Amino acid sequence: MRLAKYLSSRGVASRRAAERLIQAGRVSIDGATVTDPAHSVSGGEEIAVDRALVPPQQPPVVYAVNKPAGVISTASDPQGRPTVVDLVDSPARLYPVGRLDIDTTGLILVTNDGPLAHRLTHPSFEVPKTYRATVARAPVHEAAVGALRAGVQLDDGRTAPAQVRRLGPASLELTIHEGRKRQVKRMCEAVGHPVRRLERVAIGGLSLGRLKPGTFRRLSDDEVAALLEDPSGLQQ
């Protein structure tokens, strides 16, 4: 990895600011000053900025969290509200993969693995996410289900077709891959059934399983590898 990118990944500075630090002779590797931002590093070196050691890069970790209502999907909050990162007992510097609304519960991942986070959140990868919704104005008729399956018109455009099945008169399971803001809530409201409760139960093939609200578990190496290789193909 290039030195400037490494410093940026460790939170020292932005990529451009890190380049300026290096060019100014303020960065050393194993005691020797380096002025080339493209200098290659493995992360195992002793790297210092203004003689202060940069903490070594931590191994990638990924945790599945069952987010309760009232917890926000950020790494920190200036208002002091609880975050999903607060729920995970880990020494790693973590951040959430995507987000859930404050009143939405269920599966969210937190990690220090940038490539995995990008793989799961960038729209081009179309990672499916499955939700269970309890809705108002029951029962949900076939016309509403058919509209959700075909795609509905929202204020930011028509949605892609969703996989939908009825679990009960007022309960739906929807799988989408677009990830627009409040998409499931807006889709259900568009067909006449505002959401009263929403839970995410799967990301790709990784399911919430028996994880209790407010708890977490670390994903195995095999699970992480499967998410990177094929986010929709992991079986749980």
Catalytic residue (one of 36, 86, 101, 113): 101
User: Which amino acid does the sequence have at 205?
Assistant: G
Measure the CA angle with vertex 155, ends 152 and 158; round to 5°. 35
Catalytic residue status for 230: no
Characterize the bridge pairing of strands 195-203 and 105-111.
parallel
Write the DSSP assignment of 105-174 as a string of letters: EEEEEEES-HHHHHHHH-GGG---EEEEEEESSSPPPHHHHHHHHH--EETTEEPPP-EEEEEETTEEEE
Measured distance CA(47)–CA(56) in Å, rounded: 8
As a whole number of Å, the end-to-end CA separation of the chain is 34
Residues involved in catalysis: 101
